[in-house]
């Protein structure tokens, strides 16, 4: 009789699996994590998550990314949709 053995993944493998799933449906995945915030500041997981959400979704970041996408597309002769 076969017994079910749960597959145990490392944290790194779990993160990679989540990133792969998001990429498969068209998302670019940020490499920033709550640990990047918590390594430098004495904050909770939730506070670090909120910090990343606010910073990475801010207007300045959005504008910079759009501008860089446009410059990259221009430099690589991508045709614009009309």
Q: What angle do CA 75, 79, 81 make, to 5 degrees?
A: 130
Q: What is the dihedral of CA 39, 45, 51, 57, to 10 degrees?
A: 110
How far apart are the C-alpha atoms of 5 and 33, rounded to whole Å?
A: 30
Q: What percent of the chain has pLDDT over 90?
A: 48
What pLDDT was estimated at residue 1?
A: 59
> What is this structure's pTM?
0.58
Name the DSSP class of 81. P
How far apart are the C-alpha atoms of 30 and 21, rounded to whole Å?
A: 13
Kindly state the average pLDDT of the residues 35-50: 94
Query: Chain-wide mean pLDDT for the chain?
Result: 88
Q: Per-residue pLDDT tens for 10-42?
A: 888 888 898 899 889 998 887 788 998 999 999
37 neighbors 48 (Cβ within 8 angstroms): yes
Q: Is the pLDDT of residue 7 over 90?
A: no
């Amino acid at each position: 009789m076969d017994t079910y053995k749960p597959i145990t993944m490392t944290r790194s493998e779990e993160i990679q699996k989540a990133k792969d799933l998001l990429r498969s449906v068209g998302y670019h995945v940020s490499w920033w994590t709550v640990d990047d915030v918590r390594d430098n500041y004495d904050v909770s997981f939730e506070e670090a998550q909120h910090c990343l959400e606010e910073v990475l979704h801010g207007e300045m970041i959005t504008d910079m990314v759009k501008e860089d996408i446009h410059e990259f597309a221009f430099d690589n002769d991508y045709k614009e949709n009309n």
